[in-house]
A and B are shown apart, each in its own frame.
Chain A
Amino acid sequence: MIRTAAAGAGFGRLLLLALVVLACDPADSEKTSSSALSETAVEGRDAGRRMFREGIGLSGEPMTAIVTGDVPLLGTQFTCQNCHGRSGMGSAEGRYVVPSIAGPILFAPAHQPKRPAYDLASFARALREGLDPAGDPLDPLMPRYRLSDDEVAALAAYLAGLTIGPSPGADDKQIRLATVVTDGVSPDAREAVLAVLRQYVEEKNRQTRLESERWNRGTTPASRLPTLFREWVLDVWTLSGPSDRWPEQLEAYYREGPPFALLGGMSDRSWNPIGRFCERHEIPCLFPGTDLPDAEADDFYTLHFSRGLALEADLIASHLDTNPGTHVVVQVYCGEAPERAAEALRSVLTPRGIAVEDLEFECEASLPVADLASRLAVDPGAAAVLWVRHERLAPLEGLLPAGRIYASSTLLGRELDGPLLSAEGPVFVAHPFRLPGESDSAFKRFRLWARTRGIEIRYPRLQSQAFFACLAANDALTHLRRYLVRDYVLDMLDHAQGLAVYLPIYPRPTLGPGQRFLAKGGYVLPIVDGQLDTRKAEWILP
Chain B
Amino acid sequence: MATFTKKSKGGAPGISTASLPDIVFMLLFFFMVSTTMKEVEYKVRIKLPEASESKKIENKSLVSYIYVGPPSKNWEGKYGTKPVIQLNDQIANLESIQRYIEEERAKRSESDVPKMTYSLKIDEETDMGIVTDIKQELRNIQALKINYSARKTPAK
Do they bind each other? no
Residues of B whose CB lies within 8 Å of any CB of A are none
